[in-house]
Amino acid sequence: MKILVLGGHGFVGRNVADVLRELRHEVTSLSRRDGLDLTDYESTEKHITDITPDLIVNCAAEVGSLNYVSMKAADIFDVNMRMLLNLYKAVKVGTPDAVIFNPVANCAFPGISEKYTESNLWDGSVHQSVFAYGNTRRMMIVLSETYSTQYGLRSINFFVPNMYGPYDSTDPNKAHALNALIGKVVKAQREGLGQLEVWGSGGAIREWLYAPDCARIFLQTAERLDEYGWDEPINIGQNYGLSVRELINIIVREARYEGAIVWNRSMPDGAPKKVMDDTRFHKQFPGFIFTDLVAGIRETIRYYESIYPF
Protein backbone atom coordinates (compact mmCIF):
# COMPACT_ATOMS: atom_id res chain seq x y z
CA MET A 1 0.00 0.00 0.00
CA LYS A 2 1.28 3.51 -0.84
CA ILE A 3 1.11 5.52 2.38
CA LEU A 4 1.84 9.22 2.83
CA VAL A 5 2.58 10.35 6.39
CA LEU A 6 2.04 14.10 6.59
CA GLY A 7 4.09 15.65 9.37
CA GLY A 8 6.18 12.52 9.11
CA HIS A 9 9.16 14.15 10.82
CA GLY A 10 7.14 15.28 13.85
CA PHE A 11 6.64 13.37 17.08
CA VAL A 12 3.60 11.31 16.12
CA GLY A 13 4.44 11.10 12.41
CA ARG A 14 7.90 9.67 12.98
CA ASN A 15 6.57 6.97 15.30
CA VAL A 16 3.83 6.11 12.79
CA ALA A 17 6.20 6.00 9.81
CA ASP A 18 8.64 3.71 11.69
CA VAL A 19 5.94 1.14 12.45
CA LEU A 20 4.35 1.24 8.99
CA ARG A 21 7.76 0.76 7.32
CA GLU A 22 8.44 -2.35 9.41
CA LEU A 23 5.59 -4.07 7.57
CA ARG A 24 7.13 -3.11 4.23
CA HIS A 25 4.45 -0.67 3.18
CA GLU A 26 5.66 1.97 0.73
CA VAL A 27 5.83 4.94 3.09
CA THR A 28 6.64 8.54 2.19
CA SER A 29 7.12 11.04 5.04
CA LEU A 30 6.56 14.67 4.17
CA SER A 31 6.63 17.82 6.22
CA ARG A 32 7.77 21.43 6.06
CA ARG A 33 11.43 20.46 5.93
CA ASP A 34 10.82 18.52 2.67
CA GLY A 35 9.34 21.60 0.99
CA LEU A 36 5.67 20.75 1.54
CA ASP A 37 3.71 23.71 2.89
CA LEU A 38 0.18 22.65 3.72
CA THR A 39 -0.80 26.27 4.32
CA ASP A 40 -0.21 26.80 0.60
CA TYR A 41 -2.77 25.17 -1.68
CA GLU A 42 -0.51 24.80 -4.72
CA SER A 43 2.25 23.15 -2.71
CA THR A 44 -0.30 20.80 -1.13
CA GLU A 45 -1.92 19.80 -4.42
CA LYS A 46 1.43 19.28 -6.14
CA HIS A 47 2.78 16.93 -3.46
CA ILE A 48 -0.48 14.98 -3.13
CA THR A 49 -0.85 14.60 -6.89
CA ASP A 50 2.80 13.56 -7.36
CA ILE A 51 2.49 10.76 -4.82
CA THR A 52 -1.19 9.76 -5.25
CA PRO A 53 -1.18 7.71 -2.03
CA ASP A 54 -3.76 5.05 -1.12
CA LEU A 55 -3.64 6.16 2.51
CA ILE A 56 -2.77 9.51 4.10
CA VAL A 57 -1.94 9.61 7.80
CA ASN A 58 -2.45 13.23 8.72
CA CYS A 59 0.07 13.98 11.47
CA ALA A 60 0.82 17.54 10.33
CA ALA A 61 -0.14 20.40 12.63
CA GLU A 62 1.13 23.62 14.13
CA VAL A 63 0.94 22.76 17.82
CA GLY A 64 2.87 23.13 21.06
CA SER A 65 2.52 23.49 24.81
CA LEU A 66 -0.63 24.89 26.48
CA ASN A 67 1.20 28.18 26.87
CA TYR A 68 2.26 28.22 23.19
CA VAL A 69 -1.22 27.52 21.80
CA SER A 70 -2.77 30.23 24.04
CA MET A 71 -0.17 32.94 23.36
CA LYS A 72 -0.41 32.33 19.59
CA ALA A 73 -4.14 31.59 19.51
CA ALA A 74 -4.95 33.47 16.28
CA ASP A 75 -1.99 32.04 14.36
CA ILE A 76 -2.73 28.55 15.65
CA PHE A 77 -6.30 28.78 14.38
CA ASP A 78 -5.37 30.36 11.05
CA VAL A 79 -2.49 28.02 10.16
CA ASN A 80 -4.18 24.79 11.23
CA MET A 81 -7.43 25.61 9.46
CA ARG A 82 -5.61 26.42 6.23
CA MET A 83 -3.64 23.16 6.44
CA LEU A 84 -6.82 21.14 6.86
CA LEU A 85 -8.83 22.97 4.20
CA ASN A 86 -5.99 22.65 1.67
CA LEU A 87 -5.47 18.97 2.45
CA TYR A 88 -9.09 17.96 1.90
CA LYS A 89 -9.41 20.02 -1.27
CA ALA A 90 -6.14 18.61 -2.68
CA VAL A 91 -7.14 15.02 -1.88
CA LYS A 92 -10.46 15.56 -3.66
CA VAL A 93 -8.58 16.84 -6.72
CA GLY A 94 -5.49 14.61 -6.72
CA THR A 95 -6.34 11.26 -5.12
CA PRO A 96 -10.05 11.02 -4.29
CA ASP A 97 -9.90 7.26 -3.59
CA ALA A 98 -7.34 7.70 -0.80
CA VAL A 99 -8.35 7.13 2.81
CA ILE A 100 -7.35 9.81 5.35
CA PHE A 101 -6.50 8.87 8.96
CA ASN A 102 -6.85 11.77 11.38
CA PRO A 103 -5.36 11.52 14.88
CA VAL A 104 -7.73 14.03 16.52
CA ALA A 105 -6.32 15.37 19.80
CA ASN A 106 -8.79 14.84 22.64
CA CYS A 107 -8.72 18.58 23.45
CA ALA A 108 -11.55 18.62 20.85
CA PHE A 109 -13.92 17.29 23.55
CA PRO A 110 -15.95 19.59 25.83
CA GLY A 111 -13.64 21.04 28.48
CA ILE A 112 -16.02 20.24 31.32
CA SER A 113 -16.34 16.51 30.59
CA GLU A 114 -14.37 14.14 32.78
CA LYS A 115 -14.89 11.12 30.58
CA TYR A 116 -14.76 11.53 26.85
CA THR A 117 -17.24 9.47 24.84
CA GLU A 118 -17.25 9.76 21.06
CA SER A 119 -20.95 10.67 20.84
CA ASN A 120 -20.52 13.56 23.34
CA LEU A 121 -18.09 15.55 21.22
CA TRP A 122 -20.50 18.43 20.62
CA ASP A 123 -22.01 18.59 24.12
CA GLY A 124 -20.15 21.74 25.20
CA SER A 125 -17.31 24.09 24.33
CA VAL A 126 -13.67 23.01 24.29
CA HIS A 127 -11.64 24.08 27.34
CA GLN A 128 -10.63 27.76 27.27
CA SER A 129 -6.94 26.87 27.59
CA VAL A 130 -7.06 25.18 24.15
CA PHE A 131 -9.80 27.28 22.56
CA ALA A 132 -8.02 27.86 19.24
CA TYR A 133 -6.34 24.49 18.76
CA GLY A 134 -9.21 22.40 20.14
CA ASN A 135 -11.68 24.02 17.75
CA THR A 136 -9.45 23.27 14.76
CA ARG A 137 -9.42 19.59 15.87
CA ARG A 138 -13.24 19.62 15.88
CA MET A 139 -13.12 20.90 12.32
CA MET A 140 -11.34 17.67 11.29
CA ILE A 141 -14.63 15.91 12.01
CA VAL A 142 -16.62 18.55 10.11
CA LEU A 143 -14.32 18.31 7.09
CA SER A 144 -14.45 14.51 7.12
CA GLU A 145 -18.24 14.50 7.16
CA THR A 146 -18.80 17.24 4.62
CA TYR A 147 -16.26 15.82 2.13
CA SER A 148 -17.76 12.39 2.59
CA THR A 149 -21.29 13.66 1.97
CA GLN A 150 -20.50 15.74 -1.11
CA TYR A 151 -17.49 14.00 -2.69
CA GLY A 152 -17.44 10.51 -1.18
CA LEU A 153 -14.00 11.02 0.42
CA ARG A 154 -13.24 8.51 3.13
CA SER A 155 -11.71 9.53 6.48
CA ILE A 156 -11.14 7.49 9.64
CA ASN A 157 -11.02 9.64 12.76
CA PHE A 158 -9.33 8.56 15.99
CA PHE A 159 -9.68 10.60 19.16
CA VAL A 160 -6.31 10.39 20.80
CA PRO A 161 -5.21 11.27 24.35
CA ASN A 162 -1.85 12.84 25.22
CA MET A 163 0.98 10.78 23.83
CA TYR A 164 4.50 10.18 25.04
CA GLY A 165 7.46 8.28 23.65
CA PRO A 166 10.54 8.85 21.49
CA TYR A 167 11.17 11.58 18.90
CA ASP A 168 9.42 14.57 20.46
CA SER A 169 10.87 18.05 20.06
CA THR A 170 13.18 19.24 22.85
CA ASP A 171 12.02 22.86 22.36
CA PRO A 172 10.16 23.70 25.62
CA ASN A 173 7.43 25.46 23.57
CA LYS A 174 6.87 22.38 21.43
CA ALA A 175 7.52 19.35 23.63
CA HIS A 176 4.41 17.48 24.79
CA ALA A 177 3.48 17.33 28.45
CA LEU A 178 4.79 13.95 29.60
CA ASN A 179 7.81 14.01 27.30
CA ALA A 180 8.68 17.50 28.53
CA LEU A 181 8.56 16.21 32.13
CA ILE A 182 10.70 13.19 31.32
CA GLY A 183 13.23 15.35 29.45
CA LYS A 184 13.42 17.80 32.37
CA VAL A 185 14.00 15.05 34.92
CA VAL A 186 16.66 13.33 32.79
CA LYS A 187 18.45 16.66 32.33
CA ALA A 188 18.23 17.47 36.05
CA GLN A 189 19.58 14.02 36.95
CA ARG A 190 22.49 14.32 34.50
CA GLU A 191 23.35 17.83 35.68
CA GLY A 192 22.95 16.99 39.38
CA LEU A 193 20.36 19.74 40.00
CA GLY A 194 19.20 19.93 43.62
CA GLN A 195 15.64 20.89 42.70
CA LEU A 196 13.37 20.94 39.69
CA GLU A 197 10.39 23.22 39.01
CA VAL A 198 7.29 21.65 37.47
CA TRP A 199 4.42 23.82 36.17
CA GLY A 200 0.93 23.52 37.65
CA SER A 201 -0.36 21.90 40.82
CA GLY A 202 0.23 18.28 39.79
CA GLY A 203 -3.47 17.55 40.26
CA ALA A 204 -4.60 17.37 36.62
CA ILE A 205 -5.56 13.84 35.62
CA ARG A 206 -4.74 12.69 32.10
CA GLU A 207 -4.76 9.54 30.07
CA TRP A 208 -1.43 8.72 28.38
CA LEU A 209 -0.80 6.79 25.19
CA TYR A 210 2.61 5.46 24.15
CA ALA A 211 3.09 6.86 20.62
CA PRO A 212 4.28 3.51 19.14
CA ASP A 213 0.94 2.03 20.34
CA CYS A 214 -0.93 4.65 18.31
CA ALA A 215 1.23 3.66 15.34
CA ARG A 216 0.37 -0.05 15.83
CA ILE A 217 -3.34 0.84 15.88
CA PHE A 218 -2.98 2.74 12.59
CA LEU A 219 -1.15 -0.22 11.09
CA GLN A 220 -3.90 -2.64 12.14
CA THR A 221 -6.53 -0.28 10.74
CA ALA A 222 -4.65 0.08 7.43
CA GLU A 223 -4.74 -3.69 7.05
CA ARG A 224 -8.48 -3.95 7.82
CA LEU A 225 -9.90 -1.10 5.72
CA ASP A 226 -12.49 -3.36 4.13
CA GLU A 227 -14.10 -4.19 7.48
CA TYR A 228 -17.08 -2.33 8.95
CA GLY A 229 -17.03 0.09 11.87
CA TRP A 230 -14.68 2.84 10.70
CA ASP A 231 -17.34 5.41 9.77
CA GLU A 232 -17.77 6.73 13.31
CA PRO A 233 -14.80 8.27 15.18
CA ILE A 234 -13.07 5.91 17.63
CA ASN A 235 -11.38 6.79 20.90
CA ILE A 236 -7.94 5.26 21.27
CA GLY A 237 -9.00 4.88 24.87
CA GLN A 238 -7.99 2.95 27.95
CA ASN A 239 -10.41 4.63 30.39
CA TYR A 240 -7.50 5.11 32.75
CA GLY A 241 -5.94 8.35 33.99
CA LEU A 242 -3.10 9.31 36.29
CA SER A 243 -2.36 12.65 37.95
CA VAL A 244 0.73 14.60 36.93
CA ARG A 245 1.97 14.18 40.50
CA GLU A 246 1.77 10.37 40.25
CA LEU A 247 3.56 10.51 36.91
CA ILE A 248 6.36 12.62 38.31
CA ASN A 249 6.84 10.07 41.08
CA ILE A 250 7.26 7.31 38.49
CA ILE A 251 9.66 9.37 36.36
CA VAL A 252 11.78 10.45 39.33
CA ARG A 253 12.09 6.86 40.50
CA GLU A 254 12.84 5.41 37.07
CA ALA A 255 15.36 8.15 36.18
CA ARG A 256 16.99 7.88 39.63
CA TYR A 257 16.66 11.64 40.20
CA GLU A 258 17.44 12.54 43.81
CA GLY A 259 16.60 16.28 43.89
CA ALA A 260 13.36 17.93 45.08
CA ILE A 261 10.29 18.67 42.92
CA VAL A 262 8.90 22.21 43.32
CA TRP A 263 5.38 22.81 41.97
CA ASN A 264 4.83 26.24 40.32
CA ARG A 265 1.12 26.68 41.00
CA SER A 266 0.97 30.03 39.16
CA MET A 267 1.00 28.09 35.86
CA PRO A 268 -2.31 26.67 34.54
CA ASP A 269 -3.26 22.99 34.82
CA GLY A 270 -5.74 23.02 31.94
CA ALA A 271 -8.87 20.89 32.17
CA PRO A 272 -8.98 19.04 35.54
CA LYS A 273 -9.58 15.56 34.19
CA LYS A 274 -9.49 13.83 30.82
CA VAL A 275 -10.02 10.12 30.35
CA MET A 276 -11.36 8.33 27.32
CA ASP A 277 -14.30 5.94 27.18
CA ASP A 278 -12.96 2.70 25.71
CA THR A 279 -16.19 0.87 24.76
CA ARG A 280 -15.98 1.43 21.00
CA PHE A 281 -12.22 0.83 20.99
CA HIS A 282 -12.64 -2.65 22.49
CA LYS A 283 -15.28 -3.53 19.89
CA GLN A 284 -13.04 -2.44 17.05
CA PHE A 285 -9.68 -3.70 18.41
CA PRO A 286 -10.51 -6.71 20.59
CA GLY A 287 -7.45 -8.03 22.40
CA PHE A 288 -5.22 -5.02 21.70
CA ILE A 289 -2.63 -4.78 24.47
CA PHE A 290 -1.34 -1.31 25.35
CA THR A 291 2.23 -0.82 26.51
CA ASP A 292 2.43 -0.72 30.30
CA LEU A 293 2.85 2.91 31.43
CA VAL A 294 5.94 2.30 33.57
CA ALA A 295 7.60 0.30 30.77
CA GLY A 296 6.78 3.06 28.26
CA ILE A 297 8.16 5.74 30.58
CA ARG A 298 11.30 3.65 31.07
CA GLU A 299 11.78 3.42 27.27
CA THR A 300 11.22 7.15 26.91
CA ILE A 301 13.76 7.91 29.65
CA ARG A 302 16.26 5.76 27.72
CA TYR A 303 15.50 7.77 24.59
CA TYR A 304 16.14 11.10 26.35
CA GLU A 305 19.31 9.71 27.93
CA SER A 306 20.48 8.67 24.44
CA ILE A 307 20.06 12.20 23.02
CA TYR A 308 21.47 14.05 26.06
CA PRO A 309 22.67 16.84 26.04
CA PHE A 310 19.66 18.55 24.50
Give the pairing of strands 234-235 and 115-116. unpaired
Q: Which CB sits closer to ligand NAP, 43 or 193?
A: 43
Q: Is residue 190 near ligand NAP by the rule CB under 6 A?
A: no
Segment near ligand NAP (CB under 6 A); pick from 3-11, 218-226, 248-256, 282-290:
3-11
3-state SS of 67-100 is HHHHHCHHHHHHHHHHHHHHHHHHHHHHCCCCEE
Q: Is residue 244 near ligand NAP by the rule CB under 6 A?
A: no
| DSSP-derived secondary structure for 192-260 | T-SEEEEES-S--EE-EEEHHHHHHHHHHHHTTTTSS--SS-EE---S--EEHHHHHHHHHHHTT--SE
Segment near ligand NAP (CB under 6 A); pick from 49-57, 66-74, 168-176, 219-227:
168-176
Q: Is residue 38 near ligand NAP by the rule CB under 6 A?
A: yes
CA separation for the pair 229, 27 (Å, rounded): 25
Q: Is residue 105 near ligand NAP by the rule CB under 6 A?
A: yes
For residues 105 and 76, the answer to whether their CB atoms sit within 8 Å is: no
Residue 169 CB, shortest distance to ligand NAP, in Å, is 6
Residue 258 CB, shortest distance to ligand NAP, in Å, is 29
Residue 32 CB, shortest distance to ligand NAP, in Å, is 4
> Measured in Å, how far apart are the chain's first and last C-alpha atoms?
36
Residue among 7, 94, 183, 237 that touches ligand NAP (CB under 6 A): 7
Residues at the site binding ligand NAP, with contacts judged by CB under 6 A: 7, 9-13, 31-33, 36-39, 59-63, 83, 103, 105, 160, 162-163, 169, 174, 176
